[in-house]
Structure 1
Amino acid sequence: MSPESIIQLENKFYISANSSYADDRTKILNQTDTFGIFDRWGDIKQLGEEVQGLYHQGTRFISNLEFKINNMRPLLLSSAIKEENELLSVDLTNPAILFSEKENKTSIPKDAIYIGRSKFLRNGQCYETITITNYGAEIYEFPVSLKFHADFKDIFEIRGLKREKRGEIFEIKHTDKNEIFISYKGLDEIIRTTIISLSEKPDDWEHQTNAIYHVVLKPHRSISIQYDIGFVIGNENIAQHISYDKAQSLLKDDLEKGKGVFAHISTSNEQFTHWINRSQMDLKSLLAQTKYGLYPYAGVPWYNTAFGRDGIITALETLWAAPDIARDTIAFLAHNQATVENAYQDAEPGKILHETRGGELVECDEIPFKQYYGSVDSTPLFIVLCGAYYKRTADIEFIKEMWPYVEKALEWIEKYGDYDEDSFVEYNHKSVNGLFNQGWKDSHDSISHASGDLAVPPIALCEVQGYVYDAKIKASELATALGKKKLSIKLKQEANDLKTLFNKEFWDNETGWYVLALDGEKKCCKVKSSNAGHALFSRIADHDKAVRMAENLLQDDMFSGWGIRTLAKGEKRYNPMSYHNGSIWPHDVAMIASGFSKYGLQEQTIKLVGAMFDASIFIDLQRLPELFCGFTRRKGEGPTSYPVACSPQAWSVGAVFMLLEACLNMEINALEKKIVFKRPCLPPFLEHITIDDLDIGEGKASFELHRYKHDAGITVKEKPDDWEIYTIK
Structure 2
Amino acid sequence: MAQLDERQLDPAVALAALDDAPPRTPHRQYALKDGDCFVVANDRGDIQGRGDGLFRDDTRVLSLLRLRVGGREPTLLGASLSQDNIVFTANMTNMPLEQLPQGIIHVERSRLLWQDRMFERIRLANYSDRELVVPVSLEFDADFRDMFEVRGTARRKRGRTFASETSADHVVLRYEGLDTLVRQSVISFSEQPVQLSAGNAEFRISLARRGGGSLFVEVGASHVAPPSRERHRSATAHARWRMRAKRRHGATLHSSGRVFNDWMSRARADIALLTTELATGPYPYAGIPWFSTAFGRDGVISALQMLWLNPGLAKGVLSFLARHQATETLAFSDSQPGKIMHETRKGEMTALSELPFGRYYGGVDTTPLYVHLAGAYARRTGDMAFIDELWPSLCAAAGWIDAMRASHEHGFVAYQRAADTGLSNQGWKDSSDAVFHADGRIPQGPIALVEVQGYAFAAYRGLADLASRRGDEAAAKRWAECAESMRTAVERHFWMDGKGFYALALDGESKPCEVRASNAGHLLFVGLPSPERARRLVDQLLAAGFQTGWGIRTLADDEIPFNPMSYHNGSIWPHDTAICGAGMARYGERDSLVRLLSGTFESAVHFNMRLPELFCGFTRAPGEAPVAYPVACLPQAWSSGSAFMLMQACLGLEIDGFENEIRVNRPRLPIGIDTLTVRRLRVGRAQVDLNFQRVGDRVAAFLDARDEGRAPLVVRS
Does the alignment pair 1:202 with 2:193?
A: yes
Does the alignment pair 1:469 with 2:453?
A: no
Contact 1:417 1:427 in 2 (8 A): no
What SS does the corresponding residue of 1:343 show, helix, strand or coil? Answer: coil
Residue 111 of structure 2 corresponds to: 119
Q: Quick one: distance in 2 between partners of 1:174 and 1:711?
A: 69
Q: Quick one: distance in 2 between partners of 1:710 and 1:517?
A: 42
After TM superposition, give the deviation of residue 484 of structure 1 in Å: 1.4
Residue 701 of structure 2 corresponds to: 714
Match of 2:336 among 337, 342, 348: 348
Contact 2:3 2:420 in 1 (8 A): no
In structure 2, give the amino acid aligned to 1:44: I
Specify whether residues 684 and 131 from structure 1 end up closer, same or farther in structure 2 by C-alpha distance, changes over 3 A only.
closer
Which aligned pairs between 1:12-23 and structure 2 lie closer than 5 A?
A: 12-17=8-13, 19=15, 20-22=23-25
Match of 1:215 among 200, 205, 209: 205
Which aligned pairs between 1:467-506 and structure 2 lie closer than 5 A?
A: 467-506=455-494
Match of 2:178 among 177, 187, 203: 187
In structure 2, give the amino acid aligned to 1:109: P
Residue 79 of structure 2 corresponds to: 79
Does the alignment pair 1:157 with 2:149?
A: yes
After TM superposition, give the deviation of residue 39 of structure 1 in Å: 2.0
Residue 251 of structure 1 corresponds to: 239
In structure 1, give the amino acid aligned to 2:124: I
Residue 3 of structure 1 corresponds to: none
Residue 69 of structure 1 corresponds to: 69
After TM superposition, give the deviation of residue 506 of structure 1 in Å: 1.3
Q: Quick one: distance in 2 between partners of 1:484 and 1:240?
A: 63
- The range that moved more, 190-199 or 435-444, is 190-199
Q: Quick one: distance in 1 between partners of 2:486 and 2:346?
A: 39
What SS does the corresponding residue of 1:677 show, helix, strand or coil? Answer: strand
Specify whether residues 417 and 340 from structure 1 end up closer, same or farther in structure 2 by C-alpha distance, changes over 3 A only.
farther
Q: Quick one: distance in 1 between partners of 2:185 and 2:301?
A: 35
After TM superposition, give the deviation of residue 564 of structure 1 in Å: 1.2
Q: Quick one: distance in 2 between partners of 1:23 and 1:599?
A: 36
In structure 2, give the amino acid aligned to 1:174: T
Deviations 1:105-141 (A, max 9, x none): xx33322222211111122111011112222111112
Which aligned pairs between 1:219-618 and structure 2 lie closer than 5 A?
A: 219-231=209-221, 243-416=231-404, 418-618=406-606
What SS does the corresponding residue of 2:671 show, helix, strand or coil? Answer: coil
Does the alignment pair 1:97 with 2:85?
A: no
Residue 104 of structure 1 corresponds to: none
Residue 634 of structure 1 corresponds to: 621
Q: Quick one: distance in 2 between partners of 1:564 and 1:173?
A: 53
Contact 1:32 1:304 in 2 (8 A): no
- Unaligned stretches of 5+ residues in structure 1: 1-5, 99-106
- The range that moved more, 238-247 or 439-448, is 238-247
After TM superposition, give the deviation of residue 645 of structure 1 in Å: 0.9
After TM superposition, give the deviation of residue 240 of structure 1 in Å: 11
Deviations 1:12-47 (A, max 9, x none): 32333562312893322233422212122212124x
After TM superposition, give the deviation of residue 688 of structure 1 in Å: 1.6
Contact 2:247 2:268 in 1 (8 A): no
After TM superposition, give the deviation of residue 501 of structure 1 in Å: 1.9
The alignment-based identity, stated in percent, is 38
After TM superposition, give the deviation of residue 231 of structure 1 in Å: 3.1
In structure 1, give the amino acid aligned to 2:140: F
Does the alignment pair 1:704 with 2:695?
A: no
- The range that moved more, 679-688 or 119-128, is 679-688
What SS does the corresponding residue of 2:600 show, helix, strand or coil? Answer: helix
Specify whether residues 472 and 300 from structure 1 end up closer, same or farther in structure 2 by C-alpha distance, changes over 3 A only.
same
Q: Quick one: distance in 2 between partners of 1:596 and 1:75?
A: 48
Residue 60 of structure 1 corresponds to: 60
In structure 1, give the amino acid aligned to 2:76: L
Q: Quick one: distance in 2 between partners of 1:474 and 1:592?
A: 20
- The range that moved more, 459-468 or 61-70, is 61-70
In structure 1, give the amino acid aligned to 2:238: L
- Tell me the TM-score normalized by structure 1: 0.94
Q: Quick one: distance in 2 between partners of 1:469 and 1:7?
A: 34
Q: Quick one: distance in 1 between partners of 2:429 and 2:401?
A: 20
Q: Quick one: distance in 1 between partners of 2:367 and 2:522?
A: 16
After TM superposition, give the deviation of residue 722 of structure 1 in Å: 4.6
What SS does the corresponding residue of 1:60 show, helix, strand or coil? Answer: strand
- The range that moved more, 558-567 or 304-313, is 558-567
Q: Quick one: distance in 2 between partners of 1:626 and 1:303?
A: 11
Q: Quick one: distance in 1 between partners of 2:460 and 2:26?
A: 46
Deviations 1:33-90 (A, max 9, x none): 22212122212124xxx22211111111111112222322222222212222111111
Does the alignment pair 1:37 with 2:40?
A: yes
Specify whether residues 417 and 358 from structure 1 end up closer, same or farther in structure 2 by C-alpha distance, changes over 3 A only.
farther
In structure 1, give the amino acid aligned to 2:213: I
Residue 136 of structure 1 corresponds to: 128
After TM superposition, give the deviation of residue 709 of structure 1 in Å: 4.1
After TM superposition, give the deviation of residue 663 of structure 1 in Å: 0.8
What SS does the corresponding residue of 2:513 show, helix, strand or coil? Answer: coil
Contact 2:11 2:632 in 1 (8 A): no
Question: Which of structure 1's runs of 4+ aligned residues deviate more than 6 A?
Answer: 237-242
Contact 1:550 1:604 in 2 (8 A): no
In structure 1, give the amino acid aligned to 2:280: Y
Q: Quick one: distance in 2 between partners of 1:417 and 1:306?
A: 27
In structure 2, give the amino acid aligned to 1:162: A
After TM superposition, give the deviation of residue 184 of structure 1 in Å: 0.2
Contact 1:560 1:631 in 2 (8 A): yes
Contact 1:714 1:726 in 2 (8 A): no
Q: Quick one: distance in 1 between partners of 2:140 and 2:653?
A: 52
Specify whether residues 134 and 373 from structure 1 end up closer, same or farther in structure 2 by C-alpha distance, changes over 3 A only.
same
In structure 2, give the amino acid aligned to 1:512: G
Q: Quick one: distance in 1 between partners of 2:26 and 2:641?
A: 26
Specify whether residues 21 and 716 from structure 1 end up closer, same or farther in structure 2 by C-alpha distance, changes over 3 A only.
same
- Unaligned stretches of 5+ residues in structure 2: 16-22
What SS does the corresponding residue of 1:243 show, helix, strand or coil? Answer: helix
The count of residues paired between Structure 1 and Structure 2 equals 706
Q: Quick one: distance in 2 between partners of 1:451 and 1:97?
A: 61
Does the alignment pair 1:686 with 2:670?
A: no
- Tell me the TM-score normalized by structure 2: 0.95
After TM superposition, give the deviation of residue 603 of structure 1 in Å: 2.1
Contact 2:565 2:571 in 1 (8 A): yes
Contact 2:412 2:448 in 1 (8 A): yes
After TM superposition, give the deviation of residue 338 of structure 1 in Å: 0.6
After TM superposition, give the deviation of residue 711 of structure 1 in Å: 2.9
Contact 2:664 2:701 in 1 (8 A): no
In structure 2, give the amino acid aligned to 1:461: L
- The range that moved more, 374-383 or 114-123, is 114-123
Q: Quick one: distance in 2 between partners of 1:200 and 1:143?
A: 13
Q: Quick one: distance in 1 between partners of 2:370 and 2:159?
A: 39
